[in-house]
A and B are shown apart, each in its own frame.
Chain A
Amino acid sequence: MSSSPEAAPSPEFLAEETRRYHHFITLALWLAVVTGAEIVLIFVPVSMPVVLTVLSLMSAGKFFAVILWFMHLIYDKRLLFWIFVAALALAFATFTALLALFSVDVLDPKWIS
């Protein structure tokens, strides 16, 4: 921001904010469309792995769209992005580890006998 806390925003800053405003409107429309598509998709008679993959991709797309634009990560310092991605990686690693831990029942018995 400006050095003076109460200084009026510069014309460049206002132009940037106006540009972001249009991005937000576009993004909100896309989010609504993708959510609608997700709901339709679950009733489409396609094989489950295909639907699950597409649903996961759509969900991930919405997730990253919100953190990048609405949460300003695309405009902010990269450090903030990496802090969040590191936490996300840890959360995903926890999920993968738990999944592996609780999947011992599907192991071939010859490996544990």
Chain B
Amino acid sequence: MSETAAAHDAPTSTGIDHKKLIMWLFLASDCMFFGTLISTHLLYRKLYPSGFTDAEGHQRFIQNLFNIELTSFSTFILLMSSFLMALAVSAMHKGEIKSFRRNVLGVIFFGLIFLGCQVFEFTHFYHQGLTIQNSVLGSTFYVLTGTHGTHVAIGVLWLILMYFYSFTGKLGGHTGALDVEVAGLYWHFVDIVWIIIFTAVYLVEYLGPNGFWGTGLPAVTK
């Protein structure tokens, strides 16, 4: 820990602000929650690698459904939103409210783009025949990515409220900076969860000719 941080210890028994400690405890519990969802998806991909059957009764594979360009774009957008959030927190610590507002607007905008990409992806998958009910893959995929999307939506709503609250003049000083930092922690957490989902759910499907999990079909022997 740096000397600057040591000089700013909160007057609590742990030296950590209660709001920040509570947020970290919540994020720790959310980490286990997402850990379970990601584990469930990966295990069921291993057990049922054959994809899903669409409305016409055709066997479909997830590798042919994913759009890596779109997912990469939304991943990049979320990473950059995290960067803007770090700048917003830094601005608030320095008492630069206008810079804070500018950066938070950027985070909100990027968050909405990410959500738009997810809505587009879900709609596309649904029209291709992947629903939450017709396969194990659909159930675990929609629950995992949908839960993450809900977290993003909550984060966007929180930041919109914080943006408007900043115009009341009450979002200032140490308390205001701490409130923004806590919101920032939540937003960064949403970003790190997506870092894992991007690799574990999307990228692994492109490994090898039939993806990491294969197609579940018997191997062709010559």
Q: How many Å lie between the Cα of A31 and that of B21 in the bound state?
A: 27
With A12-B4, A13-B8, A48-B208 known to touch, is A77 a contact of B16 (CB < 8 Å)? yes
Interface string of A1-28 (1 = CB under 8 A from B): 1100110110011101100110011011
With A17-B94, A35-B72, A52-B212 known to touch, is A87 a contact of B5 (CB < 8 Å)? no
Asked if residues A71 and B76 are in contact (CB atoms below 8 Å), the reply is no
Task: Specify the chain B residue showing the minimal Cβ separation from A67.
Answer: B192
With A70-B188, A71-B185, A77-B15 known to touch, is A16 a contact of B4 (CB < 8 Å)? yes
Asked if residues B28 and A87 are in contact (CB atoms below 8 Å), the reply is yes
**Shortest CB–CB separation between residue B67 and chain A, in angstroms?**
12
Q: How many Å lie between the Cα of A94 and that of B35 in the bound state?
A: 8
* Chain B positions 1-40 with a Cβ under 8 Å from a chain A Cβ: 1-2, 4-5, 7-8, 10, 14-16, 20-21, 24-25, 27-29, 31-32, 34-36, 38-40
Besides A6-B174, A39-B72, A70-B86, 15 other CB < 8 A contacts?
A: A5-B173, A13-B4, A31-B82, A35-B72, A39-B203, A42-B207, A55-B199, A70-B83, A75-B2, A76-B5, A76-B16, A80-B24, A84-B27, A88-B31, A102-B46
Q: Which residues of chain A are within 8 angstroms of B82 by Cβ–Cβ distance?
A: 28, 31, 66, 70
Chain A interface: which size bin?
35 or more
Q: How many Å lie between the Cα of A101 and that of B133 in the bound state?
A: 25
Q: How many Å lie between the Cα of A29 and that of B75 in the bound state?
A: 14
Judge whether A79 is part of the interface by a CB distance below 8 angstroms: yes
Asked if residues A63 and B196 are in contact (CB atoms below 8 Å), the reply is yes
Asked if residues A48 and B90 are in contact (CB atoms below 8 Å), the reply is no
Majority secondary structure of chain B interface residues (helix, strand, loop or mixed) = helix
Partner of B24, one of A5, A27, A83, A94: A83
Judge whether B204 is part of the interface by a CB distance below 8 angstroms: yes
**Shortest CB–CB separation between residue B78 and chain A, in angstroms?**
10
Q: Which residues of chain B are within 8 angstroms of A95 by Cβ–Cβ distance?
A: 35, 38-39, 42
Could you name 18 residue pairs across A and B whose Cβ atoms are closer than 8 Å?
A1-B177, A14-B94, A16-B2, A21-B90, A24-B86, A24-B87, A31-B79, A66-B192, A67-B192, A70-B82, A70-B85, A70-B184, A71-B189, A76-B1, A79-B14, A92-B35, A95-B38, A102-B47
Q: How many Å lie between the Cα of A78 and that of B90 in the bound state?
A: 20
Using a CB–CB cutoff of 8 Å, the interface residues on chain B facing chain A are 1-2, 4-5, 7-8, 10, 14-16, 20-21, 24-25, 27-29, 31-32, 34-36, 38-40, 42-43, 46-47, 68, 72, 75-76, 79-80, 82-83, 85-87, 90, 93-95, 172-175, 177-178, 181, 184-185, 188-189, 191-192, 195-196, 198-200, 203-204, 206-208, 212
With A42-B203, A55-B203, A84-B31 known to touch, is A20 a contact of B90 (CB < 8 Å)? yes
Partner of B212, one of A20, A48, A72, A90: A48
**Shortest CB–CB separation between residue B172 and chain A, in angstroms?**
7
Q: Which residues of chain B are within 8 angstroms of A39 by Cβ–Cβ distance?
A: 68, 72, 203
